[in-house]
Structure 1
Amino acid sequence: MTAETLLLFVLAAVAVVVAVRWLAGRTGLPAAAILPVIGITYALLPGPNVVLEPEIVLTFVLPPLLYSAALDSSLLAIRRNVRIVVSLSVILVLITALVIGFGFHHLVAGATLAAGIAVGAAVAPPDPVAALAVGRKVGLPPRLVTIIQGEGLLNDATALTILSFASAAVIGGEFSPTAAAVRFVVAAVGGAAAGAAVAYVVRLLRPLNRDPMSANAVSLATPFAAYLLGEHLHVSGVLAVVVAGLVVGHHAPRAASGASRLQTNAVWRLVDFLLEGFVFLLIGQQLPEVIRGLRQYQTSTVVIAVAVSVGAVLLIRPVWLLLTQSLPRSLHSRLGTGQHSDKLTGREVTALSWAGTRGVISLAAVFTLPRVTPDRDLLLFCTLVVVLVTLVGQGLTFAPLVRRLGLRADEVDEARLRNEARSASVRAALDRLDDLDRERREEPAARDLEEDASEAEAIQTMRGLLGQRLARYQGRIDLLQNAESLEMPVSPRYEAALRIRRAAMDAQREELLRWRDAGTLPDEGLRVLERELDHEERLLPDRRP
């Protein structure tokens, strides 16, 4: 493929990703389910195609996606749900790989146990992108979002480690469970330590994080540094990226300036949007190459292999969730899963069971198997089918399922909590103003009269503004506390204030443009004033109390 052809393909892919995002916004369908179908359609047409290179995906695509997801996660929330997160991201991945491995060994003609475990490890880790995109749109409760997010962050490290053992067994013909367990622990502990070390170095660079450009450069480099350090030390580079992202994200509110956080968040949203779009298109385009390698197999062999792979993926997850949640409460408090030892409800188990969409990590992982791997083409096909079945099938039906189950976040309670936190922060600011005013009165000789008067006036003005804000927040809290349902109450006064404020900003922008067009205001000045209005508009809530 020439450079011009590659550039044309990238531009076309960007156009498709943007169009699908628009379509998903209009129809409610998840983009992660639409894009693979478009990729398959394109792959079946004559013309150049893009073949998945696993090393590129694992080195250049996986680290930034995992790091961004970790930054957007809550370290404290994952810690509160650590039992179920570990249960799904470690134990369930291992069980899925073993079940598929034994299924291949006993049911698929000519397949070895190591080859079965290899494909099992590849398809075991869910990719939560599609499930989370749909879940947030339909208002999935925060606890389930945290569990799905935490599972997606940690399961890739488990799966890739198991796959490396299975791949070595396929080539070498020997497999030691004890040695594999020791290597797994070393890879996990070492990966976590490598990620923590990178996060510590990032914290040492705190002075640079005050500058938005430097902060963005450091943030974009961090996932690759963590991954390379982990791989260089022969531990889990994936886990290193996740741990680095969780720690950096936890300390970001103290370590970075407001301008740096705004710009860094915007950059990572763009990176996620483009990478995820390209990845899901790439998944569909692997179909022709994978199908070409199936000519050597009998139809019955292919059908049995696919049935074992898809069946295990769809059945083991709900069975495991039901088993772990059916433990007696005494055992559940020690071995069970859930925040504060609370069991998941039946509806929550059902939703989590259907949130196991697989993605590009599964394909990239299985493509890393050496060419000499027995039944490699069959393993590739089984993995692709699992990805498409879960991504398209579960991705398209997850939203209707969540709505049917009646699982919704308590928006009223969340809004009330936000406004109580806002009120607390305003009260803290008022207390600080009182301290400043007291210091001003106690040290009159340390400043001249003009400076003292100016500071007193500034304190009084700020106190008035904060008082108005506190009264507005308290009014919202009263409205939310009196709400009789989970539906967000509508305040005509609040909505009118938002409309008027937005209308005023629009008028300001139009007037600034008239000044620029008339030659009175230079473009540089226009950009400065527009940026002020943009930051002010960003403070407005998105139609939420």
Structure 2
Amino acid sequence: MEITGGVLATIIVAIAVAAIARWRGVGIAIPLLVVGAIIGALPFGPVAPDDAGEVFLLILAPLIFGEAMSTSFFDFRRQRGPILALAIGLVVLSSFAVGAVAQWIMPGLSLSLAFALGAVLSPTDAVAVASVARRGALPRRIVTILEGESLVNDGTGLTLLRVALTAAALGAVTVGDVLLILTLSIVGGLIVGIAIGLIIVWVMRTVRDDLIANCLILIAPFPSYLIAEEIGGSGILAVVATALLVANAMLSNRRFRGRMASVAVWRQLTFILTAFAFFLVGLEIPATLIALAPGELRIVILLVVAVLAVLFVSRLLFVFAMVGLSHLGSRERLGPREAIVLAWAGARGPVSGLAAFSIPAAAIATEFADEHRILLATTFCVIAITLLLSPTLSLVARLVGVHGDDEGERAAALKAALVARGLEALDQAVEQGIIDGQPIDAAAERSVRDTLTSLMPASQSASESESADQVWQLEGRVLRAQYEELLRLRDEEGMPDAIVRPVMHALDLQSEAHKGRQSP
């Protein structure tokens, strides 16, 4: 994809629309979709790129990486049962169901291309689901399951798409071929992703230059994706694995001071890429509809209605079966109300749209070249409708009586525990009576104690006194103790990362302020 004036104009328009939507307090997906469709219908203006490989590498890989960076590895591990069931089992079921319906409506369509349509539309979208789930005031556990599912099922869906496109190119594949592709995709993607993630984690722990570590984190999705794809693995799965490892290391390593800079950069980059991806989906909708031959619109309408029904029914049945058959690998059991919310959260988005770019080349290379227009139009219409319905998730949750967790009380308890641990560390230091060979001044102790009880930085009057050096050293001990207590509460007592992250951010700010007050 060349960086031309048209591409830059597209990015600028997408960011402008997203910024206005965010400023007005609404989700960015629907405005970007609508504006993109309007611009795409004009006889002039930017067009969506048609090189699927470059799209996946330049947009999708860092976009998925950024979303995975904001996902808790700790929470993901706790909810791995339902996440993996939905991300693997449901995607396989939906792919076959959609493929069967597509071939029933279009009897002349090849099985491989029908299955490709199912593979493209079966995964929920990480970007769309994360946006809706976080804005919907849902319970933390539901949000974790939805976000984890949407990250992992991208790898599953794209792997199934690879199987379908291979079958379309070769004419047929055996069961052995399918198993080989699936094994290489999953194992190869995980090995590459974990290996690159461990390398970055090692750099974070051994190299004291935060700039180097953050630069490696910034480029991490590209080698993860490229190397995994080169060996036949899932590039998206590799990107997710790398991001989860890096995000967990950033949160667990109190000595890593590049955390705030990295989080800020990835928030901005994810926002830009999300806006661009949704805008591209909107741009593609008019072109796919205009390209339809007379009489094909009716088939598209039938396909869209049928596919939407199949996706919803298969998800509903699978979720209720999953809830009824197991405890989902966690200590708490989901109920029918939560199952309804999980079943309704089926938004598709940029991942499906970008994956759809892979379909035309395979279709044109076969005797079913005419059908590729219908498949593309169906794909983008299903994406648009699910995105338009996605804001109703919070309404459905309220109707069935599912409410968000009251995390304020737990956050207050967490802060109280940190203050208590900090006071304990201060008392231990005062009991020793000496710090850096000098007796502890009462003013230094009082200043740090006041800082702890108010969770505010120490007053400047103390830093200007003769005991400023002792204040600085005592603050350092207190901060180290608070970091350790925060990680203990997270790792040993299961404090959710949704609560830990903002407190960790506050400690990072205090730590940066503390370093800035270091005496020469």
Q: With structure 1 as the length reference, what TM-score do the two structures score?
A: 0.77
Which one is further off, 196-205 or 370-379?
A: 370-379
Work out which of the residue numbers 24, 38, 46 in structure 2 matches 1:41.
38
- In 1, the alpha carbon distance for the partners of 2:5 and 2:353 equals 27
- In 2, the alpha carbon distance for the partners of 1:191 and 1:124 equals 20
Q: Is the 8 A contact 1:192 1:243 kept in 2?
A: yes
Q: How far 1:409 moved relative to its partner?
A: 1.7
Write the letter of the residue equivalent to 1:266: A
- In 2, the alpha carbon distance for the partners of 1:469 and 1:18 equals 33
- What's the counterpart of residue 374 of structure 2? 378
- What's the counterpart of residue 19 of structure 1? 20
Change (3 A) 1:299 1:457: closer
Q: How far 1:268 moved relative to its partner?
A: 1.0
Q: How far 1:210 moved relative to its partner?
A: 4.7
- What's the counterpart of residue 399 of structure 1? 394
Q: Output aligned runs, 1:1-400, within 5 Å.
A: 3-23=4-24, 25=25, 29-53=26-50, 54-206=52-204, 210-255=208-253, 257=255, 259-295=257-293, 298-327=296-325, 332-333=326-327, 337=328, 339-340=330-331, 342-369=332-359, 370=361, 371-373=364-366, 374=368, 375-392=371-388, 394-400=389-395
Which one is further off, 111-120 or 345-354?
A: 345-354
Q: Is the 8 A contact 1:104 1:112 kept in 2?
A: no
SS across alignment from 1:410 = coil
Q: With structure 2 as the length reference, what TM-score do the two structures score?
A: 0.80
Say if 2:462 is the partner of 1:466. no
- In 2, the alpha carbon distance for the partners of 1:326 and 1:70 equals 29
Work out which of the residue numbers 410, 433, 439 in structure 1 matches 2:426.
433
% identical aligned pairs: 29
Q: Is the 8 A contact 1:78 1:150 kept in 2?
A: yes
Which one is further off, 99-108 or 87-96?
A: 99-108
Write the letter of the residue equivalent to 1:40: A
Change (3 A) 1:153 1:3: closer
- In 2, the alpha carbon distance for the partners of 1:396 and 1:113 equals 34
- In 2, the alpha carbon distance for the partners of 1:32 and 1:229 equals 31
Say if 2:436 is the partner of 1:422. no
- In 1, the alpha carbon distance for the partners of 2:296 and 2:281 equals 25
Q: Is the 8 A contact 2:87 2:153 kept in 1?
A: yes
Q: How far 1:181 moved relative to its partner?
A: 2.1
CA RMSD of aligned residues (A): 2.7
- For residues 397-430 of structure 1, the C-alpha deviation after alignment (integer angstroms, 9 at most, x for no partner) is 223222333322232xx22222222222222223
- In 1, the alpha carbon distance for the partners of 2:450 and 2:290 equals 73
Write the letter of the residue equivalent to 1:409: G
Change (3 A) 1:307 1:466: closer
Q: Is the 8 A contact 2:138 2:394 kept in 1?
A: no
Larger CA Rg, structure 1 vs 2: 1
Q: Is the 8 A contact 2:138 2:402 kept in 1?
A: yes
Write the letter of the residue equivalent to 1:395: S
- In 2, the alpha carbon distance for the partners of 1:434 and 1:299 equals 76
Q: How far 1:396 moved relative to its partner?
A: 3.3
- In 2, the alpha carbon distance for the partners of 1:294 and 1:85 equals 38
Structure 1 unmatched runs, 5+: 471-531, 537-545
SS across alignment from 1:285 = helix
Work out which of the residue numbers 452, 455, 461 in structure 1 matches 2:439.
452
Change (3 A) 1:217 1:89: same
Q: Output aligned runs, 1:518-537, within 5 Å.
A: none
Q: Is the 8 A contact 2:14 2:32 kept in 1?
A: no
- In 2, the alpha carbon distance for the partners of 1:158 and 1:152 equals 10
- In 2, the alpha carbon distance for the partners of 1:6 and 1:160 equals 26
- In 1, the alpha carbon distance for the partners of 2:125 and 2:215 equals 27
Write the letter of the residue equivalent to 1:407: V
Change (3 A) 1:6 1:172: closer
- In 1, the alpha carbon distance for the partners of 2:192 and 2:154 equals 16
Q: How far 1:280 moved relative to its partner?
A: 0.9
Q: Is the 8 A contact 2:129 2:150 kept in 1?
A: no
- In 1, the alpha carbon distance for the partners of 2:290 and 2:410 equals 56
Write the letter of the residue equivalent to 1:315: V
Which one is further off, 282-291 or 177-186?
A: 177-186
- In 2, the alpha carbon distance for the partners of 1:20 and 1:464 equals 42
Q: How far 1:453 moved relative to its partner?
A: 4.7
Number of positions where the alignment pairs a residue of Structure 1 with one of Structure 2 = 453
- In 2, the alpha carbon distance for the partners of 1:133 and 1:152 equals 12
Q: Is the 8 A contact 1:212 1:260 kept in 2?
A: yes
Q: Is the 8 A contact 1:33 1:396 kept in 2?
A: no
- In 2, the alpha carbon distance for the partners of 1:389 and 1:209 equals 48
Write the letter of the residue equivalent to 2:330: Q
- In 2, the alpha carbon distance for the partners of 1:67 and 1:20 equals 24
Q: How far 1:119 moved relative to its partner?
A: 0.4
Write the letter of the residue equivalent to 2:199: V
- In 1, the alpha carbon distance for the partners of 2:448 and 2:95 equals 61
- What's the counterpart of residue 484 of structure 1? none
Q: How far 1:296 moved relative to its partner?
A: 6.5
- In 2, the alpha carbon distance for the partners of 1:419 and 1:257 equals 25
SS across alignment from 1:286 = helix
